[in-house]
Homo-oligomer: A and B are copies of this chain.
Amino acid sequence: MERKLALVASPTEAAQEAARRLHAVSQFVPFNQADTIIALGGDGFMLQTLHGMLENHRTLPIFGMNLGTVGFLMNEWRLDGLDQRLDRAKVYKVNPLRMHATTVSGEQVTLPAINEVSLLRETRQTAWLEVSVDNRVVIPELVCDGALVATPAGSTAYNLSAQGPILPLGCGLVALTPISPFRPRRWRGAILPERTKVKMRVVDPVKRPVSAVADQREVRDVASVEIAIDQAMPLTLLFDPEHTLDDRIAAEQFIA
């Protein structure tokens, strides 16, 4: 059976040029006829593309090639041998988070997140959060800059900056990590099974406004945020076997 590839590329010059060269040597179909996606760009573009698929409820396997800055989620860019690389590619399932946010004005917003859902205060007023795990209040009043829930894939991103732990891919866990906790002041966060539901209720959200961010998308002035792993729509990332995402995240743990 023939593979049906669609090509998407970041608007940067480097990615557009690579797309032109790739069109000259391979066959591509429109996105809605494809069974596999080739993405050219950096991590930011990859996250955007994955988010686009989640929104359209159509999550195809995706093979990225790095023409951007970090490339943590990307394979090496090469013009040749794309078919053979796809034959040999190692498959990675990643379950995204789903955030249900309710704003102060009563609006409901649901957004997926591949890396993390984070809350941060918007003004000089410290955030006061009531943190619940599986409907049990575990911290009645977390006084802080904010807090986040990260997947293993996202554990080396914002979570690491906030001193959270690096989690191996596929470990079935998420990290709940406070940002500058003032009270309880030495709380370092928790590692939770991925079936766990985390809820953060903002105390006094008008005086103490808090913003919630699902990967790159922001909801201002939230009153409460529920975060859980969405098992229903796994993403499929393809990697050259010699250089998988798992290796890279493991490698991150031995950088110091």
Option from B160, B186, B189, B218 in Cβ contact (under 8 Å) with A123: B218
Within the assembled complex, what's the spacing in Å between the Cα atoms of A139 and B251?
Answer: 11
Indicate with 1 or 0, residue by residue over A122-161, a CB within 8 angstroms of chain B CB atoms. 1110000000010000110000110000000000011011
B residues near A42, Cβ cutoff 8 Å: none
B residues near A163, Cβ cutoff 8 Å: 163
**A5 interface residue (CB < 8 Å to B):** no
Within the assembled complex, what's the spacing in Å between the Cα atoms of A256 and B160?
Answer: 14
B residues near A16, Cβ cutoff 8 Å: none
**A51 interface residue (CB < 8 Å to B):** no
B residues near A123, Cβ cutoff 8 Å: 211, 218
B residues near A208, Cβ cutoff 8 Å: none
**A185 interface residue (CB < 8 Å to B):** yes
Q: Which residue of B lies closest to A220 (CB)?
A: B123
Q: Is the CB of B145 within 8 A of A179?
A: yes
Option from B182, B187, B213 in Cβ contact (under 8 Å) with A254: B187
A residues contacting the other copy or chain, number (CB 8 A): 47
Option from B161, B181, B255 in Cβ contact (under 8 Å) with A161: B181
**A121 interface residue (CB < 8 Å to B):** yes
Q: Is the CB of A165 within 8 A of B181?
A: no
A interface majority secondary structure: loop
Q: Is the CB of B171 within 8 A of A144?
A: no
Q: Which residue of B lies closest to A160 (CB)?
A: B185
Option from B121, B192, B213, B255 in Cβ contact (under 8 Å) with A120: B121
Given that A123-B211, A145-B179, A218-B124 are contacting pairs, would A253 and B191 also be in contact in the complex, using a CB cutoff of 8 Å?
yes
**A79 interface residue (CB < 8 Å to B):** no
Indicate with 1 or 0, residue by residue over A183-217, a CB within 8 angstroms of chain B CB atoms. 01111111111000000000000000001010011
Offer 13 A-B interface pairs, CB within 8 angstroms, sorted by A.
A124-B218, A138-B254, A145-B145, A145-B180, A161-B185, A166-B190, A166-B191, A167-B191, A168-B193, A180-B180, A186-B256, A187-B254, A187-B255
- Residue numbers of A with Cβ under 8 A of B are 120-124, 133, 138-139, 144-145, 157-158, 160-163, 165-168, 171-173, 179-182, 184-193, 211, 213, 216-218, 250, 253-256
